[in-house]
Amino acid sequence: MTDASVDCAPQPGVPWWSFTKTVLAAAALRLVAQGRLALDEPFDCRPFTLRQLLQHRAGVPDYGALPAYRAAVQNGEKPWNAMQLLDYAGADRLEFEPGHDWGYSNIGYYLVRRKIEDITGRNIGSALQHLVFDALGLASVHIAATAGDLAKTLWGNPGGYDPGWVYHGLLVGTASDAARFLHGLILGEVLPSHLLTEMKTFVAIGGPIQRRPWQIAGYGLGLMAGRMTAAGSALGHSGAGPGSVSAVYHFNDLRTPRTVAAFAQAEDESITEYEVERLALA
């Protein structure tokens, strides 16, 4: 395992952005392992399953491209409540028949977050700590609840972004703990082997992506997956938000498999994707 920091001094936290989805998927699968949640049965009596939500194949719409959402964030407005969000996004109207297409959906992961909270009786931060982080000894990770929480991270929060706009939750932690979490996950320290296999099995969603290292791009259960140009097979997640980007990946084709995390003060997540590939090959 390696990560983007080699300094022994205490590391400041960084926003994990959509790498949070990988943690949510792992927590949901822990509940599947405990028999408290089903992977392939109707989710809350809806026409899709947990598997389809985790793989973005449920047909649930997204909110990221909504003009009203973008304008509200840009104007520094207070985050909408959940009912407003679901209403604005038309969340009851599926965009395709579940299992028959692929469409990235933050709302899908909001539904997963809510189910984890309902089953455990804990808020999402406490639930993730209990289900995932305690077993791995990861002390730096927590949910960013306020703009002030983001202000304490490495690059601060000069725009005053409210993490409440990330409805599935926004984790903050060190780069090392991001790498440690993914490394432990892939090495089988979080899930039983059959569920880890399900998590890593991906549906291909495209070939080479221009100006990014992906030669084959796909998505498993909370994992971006496929092949990168130089480092081969990759499992993990990229992310982007106001002021920074992230990439956390495990590379299994190398002579010595490596898990690498990179975070940068930038707007283009390809920067960190190329960086994790470089670090993995170093």
Three-state DSSP string of 40-109: CCEHHHCCCEHHHHHCCCCCCCCCCCCHHHHHHHHCCCCCCCHHHHHHHHCCCCCCCCCCCCCCCCHHHH
Of 5, 22, 11, give the one whose Cα is nearest residue 249: 22
pLDDT, residue 1, reads 60
The tokens 């089988």 sit on which residue?
A: 188
Say how far apart CA 25 and CA 220 lie, in whole Å: 10
pLDDT, residue 256, reads 94
pLDDT, residue 206, reads 87
Is 92 in contact with 86 (CB distance < 8 Å)?
yes
Is 14 in contact with 173 (CB distance < 8 Å)?
yes
Nearest-10 Cα torsion for 185, 187, 190, 193: 120
Pairing status of strand 171-173 against strand 14-15 = antiparallel
Q: CB-based burial of residue 73 (10 Å sphere; 0-12 exposed, 13-18 middle, 19+ buried)?
A: middle
Residue segments in the chain with a per-residue pLDDT below the cut of 50: 3-7
Those residues with Cβ within 8 angstroms of residue 65's Cβ, 6 or more apart along the chain or in another chain: none
Say how far apart CA 92 and CA 81 lie, in whole Å: 16
- Ramachandran angles phi, psi of 147, nearest 5°: -60, -30
3-class SS at 274?
helix
pLDDT, residue 7, reads 46
pLDDT, residue 9, reads 62
Is 37 in contact with 126 (CB distance < 8 Å)?
no
pLDDT, residue 255, reads 94
